[in-house]
Amino acid sequence: MRVSINTITPDTPSAEVIGWAHEIRDLGGLAFLLIRDRTGILQVTIPKKKVAPEIAETIRAISRESVVRVRGIIKPEGKAPGGRELIPDLIEIVSLSASPLPLDVAEKVPAELDTRLDNRFLDARRPRVSAIFKIRNAVQHATRNFFFDNGFIEINTSKIVAAATEGGTELFPIAYFEKEAFLNQSPQLYKQMMMAAGFEKVYEIGPIFRAEEHNTTKHLNEATSIDIEVSFTDHIGVMQILEDLVRDIYQFVDKTCSDAIADMDLDTFAVPEKGFPRLPYAEAIEIAASKCEEDITYGDDIGTAAEKAIGEEMGRMYFIVDWPSSIRPYYAMPYENDPEICKAFDMMHPRMELSSGAQRVHQYDLLVDQIAKKGLNPENFEFYLNPFRFGMPPHAGWGLGAERMVTTMLGLPNVREAVLFPRDRHRVVP
Amino acid sequence: MRVSINTITPDTPSAEVIGWAHEIRDLGGLAFLLIRDRTGILQVTIPKKKVAPEIAETIRAISRESVVRVRGIIKPEGKAPGGRELIPDLIEIVSLSASPLPLDVAEKVPAELDTRLDNRFLDARRPRVSAIFKIRNAVQHATRNFFFDNGFIEINTSKIVAAATEGGTELFPIAYFEKEAFLNQSPQLYKQMMMAAGFEKVYEIGPIFRAEEHNTTKHLNEATSIDIEVSFTDHIGVMQILEDLVRDIYQFVDKTCSDAIADMDLDTFAVPEKGFPRLPYAEAIEIAASKCEEDITYGDDIGTAAEKAIGEEMGRMYFIVDWPSSIRPYYAMPYENDPEICKAFDMMHPRMELSSGAQRVHQYDLLVDQIAKKGLNPENFEFYLNPFRFGMPPHAGWGLGAERMVTTMLGLPNVREAVLFPRDRHRVVP
């Protein structure tokens, strides 16, 4: 009966494992096979004169990254990974690998990101890469448990839609039978409709699609968005939920992913402290203007250079609040006493923006007015606007980028590393 | 401080609630307001002479389905829902609803499914409709916990792809920058690649897209698929996982959704018994042939009439196994001793198919051969085939339709009822 490699200790009497031939060293009378499964690496030691001749023969036939089954007795061995080795009485090739490999799984030869993504099935065999996806698994599990425990209802909204969320042009068109349709940029309008339906607290984790042409280390054309919407609360309420969630995720990863964190040599991992500072946009812009070479003034979007400058100044996760209404979407609620600014926020990691949210406009007339002010035609938003006429409660929400969360948590240089099969302008395969 | 309506008992001294005006009855000296939130209904009783005049005035201004805030003392009242009523000292209109409503939320007037879906934000205010989505939430939560607890890694694979899973024509084309791309029909090829990556057990819950033209009560053009793939096992192994999961989901719903089950008057709900029978395809076809008017012979697909006839005969959830290789996809593993049949299965509810799976072909040469035999060009599957050359382990898996699971569990007449915003040939809005 096969066991996972990480369950084998120096005291285990015997074991059978199935895994990949990570490394093979044949020193003549003595051969070593490192066998790898998703939990770890085991040294198989073959003293050729002491094992059956067919074992020595099989060892010669194994190519690197073949799938092999090995059975034998375990002995303590201080120099081997995990302090133990296996002396085989059976070795069987389950699935022979071709040679040469398009990518060196044992990581002796570094590979470019493009080569790695082209050969993701090999790249993800590397412990430091599979660790990213084990941690991503934990991040999403912690997220859903947080929502379930707090009474949120998971929704699954359609990705094929007839209208753009923000009326923008950054949409992928689909040929949908006889109709024109698009891939959804955000579940924004749908989660708001669920507030009209009285669901009160909803969340969705799903793909979003943006036909943006830029090619950076923080943008994806298909990404995973963690979205919430909550009724009878405001931006302050959902900022607190966001901070609590982010800390909860880090704590869960800290508690459950120590092996993966070790595989990544991640000495920078730390649970963020409570009380993310709330920096007004006006002050953020001042910091950026004083630290950046480019000309930055009130009313500008916060670009990459500004984001970096402010992040360095803040040195931790923080919120930017009180944004000018002119640079936020129509659905952001203006302050009653100063409608030039609105109840929107961004949640920032020092490296980049992670989340964007706001209290939403729930008043039909104000919403129509704000749509028109943005130069959009309210008639195109009929399916969205209709619910606001029949008892829409006050509500607020945000969207959090799952890949950016993982990228910043693990200090990955490129957001593509947090996605198994990333999509960018030039990449739709594999 | 607002409380949820279901937390108010006849012994609660006082309460403040926010919700929707479900019904308003003004009998002159006495008025009744039923206020509804997502947890239940509370009767507000207004003896006009005993309350402040502005309360009587506000009551007259409230239209049905407006959002209102009510505060007051609670009294036992046997004739009211939950055995208690609220005598208000404050009533405030938070969000006034227009009249008339496009749909009667109090369900006195039945509505057609199309009207309901056009006005989903009102339809889903009905307790018997929101109950479906509370249960769906529980189904997905139980599913993910089952996988997490059993060591599966959640994967998120791209929905924008360059090739069809089964080479079919039922694809939605996307204009993806300068390239041709499609919406993915299934994560099949990607989850198999993750077996090549050594992830061993993966799952994904995500949207799948099928450009099928038929319009039935069990098909959707955008659906949610629960997918798994497991290495070092066969079809028997993953059939057991599927049966265990399905029973686990039912048990979790049974344990956690009693209110929602009551809201739906669901007296048919029952956890399926262990040991789903495994009916060979050849026997299934015999049953269908003997019970159906149409001509059904070995080698045919199992259509709606056959599915119904066999389901009636079986009377419970069951598997159909040992399918002819000719009617299963190229990736289904043929039996070694009889390659005319293969290690594929369908998991059936008496009403319809819920899941389809198989042990997969993991041998490169056999796979190329099977692709060619289906009349497809192996060159178009290069990105998928490549991993099979470099140490692909034996593996098996299945896909389970989330909406069909909910539809059959709750006895819904149409699968569209299990989707908030269903997509079919004629529906892309809302």
Calpha distance B242→B228 (Å, rounded): 9
CB contact, 8 Å: A253 with chain B? Answer: no
Task: Evaluate if residue B310 carries a pLDDT over 80.
Answer: yes
Q: Mean per-residue pLDDT for B345-359?
A: 98
What's the gap in Å between the CA of B417 and the closest CA on chain A?
13
Calpha distance B198→B415 (Å, rounded): 36
Peptide linkage before A10 cis (omega within 30 of 0) = no
pLDDT at residue A300, rounded to an integer: 97
Q: Which of residues 342-381 of B touch A (CB under 8 A)?
A: 362-363
CATH 1.10.3720.10 matches B121-277+316-417: no
Q: Which of residues 8-27 of B touch A (CB under 8 A)?
A: 18-21
Find the radius of gyration of the CA atoms of chain A. Answer: 27
- Most A CBs within 10 A among B96, B104, B136, B156, hence the mutation to make, goes to B156
Residue ranges of the binding site of A for L-aspartate? 166, 210, 356, 360
pLDDT at residue A168, rounded to an integer: 65
Q: Mean per-residue pLDDT for A337-342?
A: 98
* Pairs of residues, one from chain A and one from chain B, whose beta carbons lie less than 8 Å apart: 246
pLDDT category of residue B267 using cuts at 50, 70 and 90: confident
Least confident span in A78-92, A338-352, B121-135, B165-179 = B165-179
> A153 and B137 in contact by Cβ < 8 A?
yes
Between the alpha carbon of residue B244 and those of residues B153, B188, B206, B250, B352, the distances in Å are 18, 21, 21, 10, 19
Task: Evaluate if residue B163 carries a pLDDT over 80.
Answer: no
**pLDDT one-digit tens code per residue, A365-413:** 999 999 999 999 999 889 899 999 999 999 999 999 999 999 999 999 9
pLDDT category of residue B107 using cuts at 50, 70 and 90: confident
Beta carbons within 8 Å of B82's beta carbon, 6+ residues apart: B5, B6, B8, B9, B10, B40, B41, B42
CB contacts, 8 Å: A144 with chain B: 141, 144
What percent of chain B clears pLDDT 90, i.e. is strictly above it?
94
CB contacts, 8 Å: A181 with chain B: 428
What percent of chain A clears pLDDT 70, i.e. is strictly above it?
99
pLDDT at residue A108, rounded to an integer: 82
What percent of chain B clears pLDDT 70, i.e. is strictly above it?
99
pLDDT category of residue B256 using cuts at 50, 70 and 90: very high
Beta carbons within 8 Å of A66's beta carbon, 6+ residues apart: A20, A21, A93, A94, A95, A96, A97, B391
What's the gap in Å between the CA of A96 and the closest CA on chain B?
6
Q: Mean per-residue pLDDT for A331-348?
A: 98
* B81: Cα separation from own chain's centroid: 30
Of B36, B67, B190, the CB nearest to A421: B190
> A121 and B194 in contact by Cβ < 8 A?
yes
Residue positions counted in chain A: 430
Beta carbons within 8 Å of B144's beta carbon, 6+ residues apart: A141, A144, B154, B203, B205
According to DSSP H, which parts of A75-187 are helical? Answer: 113-118, 120-123, 127-149
Calpha distance B144→A148 (Å, rounded): 12
Calpha distance B382→A311 (Å, rounded): 44
Calpha distance B151→A137 (Å, rounded): 10
> A429 and B386 in contact by Cβ < 8 A?
no
pLDDT category of residue B268 using cuts at 50, 70 and 90: confident
At A3, the amino acid letter reads V
Q: Which residue has the higher pLDDT, A92 or A165?
A: A92
CB contact, 8 Å: A161 with chain B? Answer: yes
**Minimal Cα distance from A224: which residue of B?**
B156
Q: Mean per-residue pLDDT for A344-364?
A: 98
Q: Which of residues 306-335 of B touch A (CB under 8 A)?
A: none
B181 labelled binding-site residue: no
pLDDT at residue B165, rounded to an integer: 67
Check if A5-95 and A121-277+316-417 are the same fold.
Answer: no
Tell me whether residue A297 is exposed, middle or buried, using C-beta atoms within 10 angstroms of its C-beta: 0 to 12, 13 to 18, 19 or more: exposed
Residue ranges of the binding site of A? 166, 210-212, 218-220, 353, 356, 360, 401-404
**pLDDT one-digit tens code per residue, B183-233:** 999 999 999 999 999 999 999 999 999 999 989 999 999 999 999 999 999
DSSP lists the bridge partners of residue B188 as none
> B199 and A18 in contact by Cβ < 8 A?
no
**Pairing mode, strands B338-349 and B318-324:** antiparallel
> B197 and A120 in contact by Cβ < 8 A?
yes
Task: Evaluate if residue B274 carries a pLDDT over 80.
Answer: yes
Q: Mean per-residue pLDDT for A217-232?
A: 98
pLDDT at residue A167, rounded to an integer: 65
Q: Which fold has domain A5-95?
A: OB fold (Dihydrolipoamide Acetyltransferase, E2P) (2.40.50)
> A421 and B213 in contact by Cβ < 8 A?
no
Q: ipTM score of the complex?
A: 0.97
Q: Mean per-residue pLDDT for B313-318?
A: 98
pLDDT at residue A107, rounded to an integer: 80
> B224 and A156 in contact by Cβ < 8 A?
yes
CB contacts, 8 Å: A121 with chain B: 193-194, 196-197, 386-387, 390
Task: Evaluate if residue B337 carries a pLDDT over 80.
Answer: yes
pTM: 0.97
Q: Mean per-residue pLDDT for B378-402?
A: 96
The average confidence (pLDDT) of chain A is 96
B183 labelled binding-site residue: no
Residue with tokens 């812009």: A285
Of A161, A420, A421, the CB nearest to B428: A161
**pLDDT one-digit tens code per residue, A94-151:** 999 999 999 999 888 889 999 999 999 999 999 999 999 999 999 999 999 999 999 9
The average confidence (pLDDT) of chain B is 96
Q: Which two tokens stand for residue A239?
A: 């900022």
DSSP A378: G
What's the gap in Å between the CA of B366 and the closest CA on chain A?
13
CB contacts, 8 Å: B213 with chain A: 177
Q: Mean per-residue pLDDT for B265-286?
A: 96
> B428 and A207 in contact by Cβ < 8 A?
no
**Minimal Cα distance from B189: which residue of A?**
A430
What's the gap in Å between the CA of B377 and the closest CA on chain A?
17
What's the gap in Å between the CA of A266 and the closest CA on chain B?
20
pLDDT at residue B181, rounded to an integer: 95
Q: Delimit the domains of chain B by residue range.
A: 5-95, 121-277+316-417
Q: Mean per-residue pLDDT for B69-76?
A: 98
Q: Which of residues 86-105 of A touch B (CB under 8 A)?
A: 94-98, 101-102
pLDDT category of residue A165 using cuts at 50, 70 and 90: low
B353 labelled binding-site residue: yes
Residue with tokens 């208690």: B84
pLDDT at residue B418, rounded to an integer: 98
CB contacts, 8 Å: B24 with chain A: none
pLDDT at residue B76, rounded to an integer: 98
CB contacts, 8 Å: A362 with chain B: 95
Q: Mean per-residue pLDDT for B254-261?
A: 96
> A141 and B137 in contact by Cβ < 8 A?
no
Q: How many CB atoms lie within 10 A of CB A73?
A: 13
